[in-house]
Chain A
Amino acid sequence: MTAVFRTVAYGTPADCQDEVWQIGESTCLDATKSFCKLMVMQFGDQYLNRTPTKEERDRILRKNAARGFPGCFASWDCKHFVWDKCPVALQGQHKGHSDGGKYTKLLEAIADDQLFMWFINFGSPGSLNDINVLDKSSIVGSLITGDLDLKTEPYYINGTRRDWMYFLADGIYPDWAIFVKTIAPTCQRNEHDKQYAKKQEAVRKDIERAFGVLVKKYHALARPIRLWKEEDVRNMIYACVILHNMTVEERIKVVGDGVELSDEDHARYYDETDERNNNVNPNGIFSRLPTIDDTGELEHNMAQRFTRANNLHYLLTDRDMHVQLKKDLYADIIRRSSKNK
């Protein structure tokens, strides 16, 4: 197991372990693969692709509210990993524009401010771009099925009441209600636009940091991945993310997350009776969904669930709500910064 950790952590070839730990090359490789598979089996449901508990969600929302993005859950992005041993049969689909036309696989992930990767989706071939990956993303799938529940206590931005959590993303992502994007430098008209873009990009950086830390920590991912099978590659990425999440969890326990939300901000974002939250413009996703009663017959129940999932998808990808959300955030950030001056 020591040898496995070294293989994953330093990205050393399996042969190097022979002299130090007296373990054969093939044994080391087998052990690495077996280890990764077992990690996914043992810890996969605990550290990967699960809805945060209420405490965890509160922590994230508080932290992001203190940074000016109340209701923001995480940042969303993709990263290419070069696959050295991509079989010839798969090379066509894995050859992409990034990494100088090498064969890559894509990791799509969402990460919070502590770099905990909540959901990941690995395995899309490198010829896809972020939008293609999003279209077939298992993360969007779990949003709709409810594995990742975005419902939260209502909060207020610029007086508008909302009840869903959103993600920060970069410019390529579509205009969905769950995404908040920056303003491109070419489209910035004035200082306020610049301020907003700076703020958004500063917080969205979380996911880039998470990718950076993951790769620097587990060097096996930093260099071209030398495993032959798709399954082994996937298991290794998953195992690394699980280990990464474990360390993050430990750090949060020991160090804590630092920033506290000031009372005034808390009142503005969460207090219904605050005079700034005049509630003129309620805007919700989950409040519009039909409720499900489990008491009825199975068929009826299934039909209800189907309708709900359908509506949920429709609302999550709504463009008007995306625009409204961005406007409200924009106004809020500008007001905050002008007050601080």
Chain B
Amino acid sequence: MTRSMDEEEQDMDVASSEEEEVEDEEEAAPGCLTCFSSVAAVGHVLLAEESRDLSTLLSVFLDEDSDDEKGPWGGSRPGRSGNIKRDFEGTYRRLVSFYFSGRDSLYTEAQFRRRFRVSSAIFQRVYDNLHGKGVFYAQRVEKGRAFILWSE
């Protein structure tokens, strides 16, 4: 324990270097805490409870911090945007009715050629060749749920 205390002293010296002088441990501890005002409450509890065992205090503090940063397996994290539930199936059906329903398509071949820059024959050929090859042109299963990304 004494060894870890020594280490803590060094850490504190770095942390409280803005304050002019640190004379002994007893004064240093609250000085350090005011620096990290966010954990002041926790610090008080711990201080009142027992001792100035700063190693315990700081380990709690550090652990909590790293918990906020990232979970053990990554995964969803606060502050990042979640997945939006998009209407893949509906869009797919709409798309098929627009361009890929043969003669029943809403838009003509000329419009297809204009919008896709290639004829539907070439599009079909490219599609057949690329289908199932890359990550984004295949169905995939994520986290146990069937997650289908339409490749059209």
Residues of A within 8 A of B (CB): 1-2, 5-6, 8-9, 21-24, 27, 30-31, 34-35, 37-39, 41-43, 217-218, 243, 246-247, 250
Say yes or no: A21 contacts B91, CB within 8 Å: yes
* CB contact between A27 and one of B122, B125, B149 (< 8 Å): that residue: B149
Number of A-B contacts (CB under 8 A): 74
Check: B61 CB closer than 8 A to any chain A CB: no
Which 4 A-B pairs rank lowest in CB-CB distance, beginning with the nearest? A34-B134, A22-B91, A31-B136, A22-B86
* Given A23-B86, A24-B86: A9 in contact with B130 (beta carbons within 8 A): no
Say yes or no: A5 contacts B86, CB within 8 Å: no
**Which A residue sits closest to B133, measured CB to CB?**
A38
Question: Could you say which residues of chain A place their CB within 8 Å of the CB of B122?
Answer: 243, 246-247, 250
Check: B70 CB closer than 8 A to any chain A CB: no
Question: Could you say which residues of chain A place their CB within 8 Å of the CB of B125?
Answer: 246
Question: Could you say which residues of chain A place their CB within 8 Å of the CB of B135?
Answer: 30, 34
Say yes or no: B136 contacts A27, CB within 8 Å: yes
* CB contact between A243 and one of B87, B99, B117, B136 (< 8 Å): that residue: B117
* CB contact between B117 and one of A22, A30, A35, A247 (< 8 Å): that residue: A247
Q: Please list 23 pairs of residues, one from A and one from B, whose beta carbons are closer than 8 Å in the complex, sorted by A's number.
A: A1-B130, A2-B95, A9-B116, A22-B86, A22-B88, A22-B91, A24-B84, A24-B86, A27-B136, A27-B149, A34-B134, A34-B136, A35-B130, A38-B134, A243-B117, A243-B126, A246-B122, A246-B125, A247-B118, A247-B119, A250-B119, A250-B121, A250-B122
Question: Could you say which residues of chain A place their CB within 8 Å of the CB of B151?
Answer: 1
**Which B residue sits closest to A20, measured CB to CB?**
B91
Question: Could you say which residues of chain B place their CB within 8 Å of the CB of A21?
Answer: 91, 95
Most buried by B among A1, A41, A43, A250: A1
A34 to B135, CA, bound (A): 8
Say yes or no: A34 contacts B137, CB within 8 Å: yes
How many Å from the CB of B117 to the closest CB on chain A?
Answer: 5
Say yes or no: A1 contacts B152, CB within 8 Å: yes
Say yes or no: B133 contacts A218, CB within 8 Å: no
Question: Could you say which residues of chain B place their CB within 8 Å of the CB of A43?
Answer: 126, 129
Check: B3 CB closer than 8 A to any chain A CB: no
Say yes or no: B91 contacts A42, CB within 8 Å: no
A65 to B84, CA, bound (A): 60
A218 to B136, CA, bound (A): 22
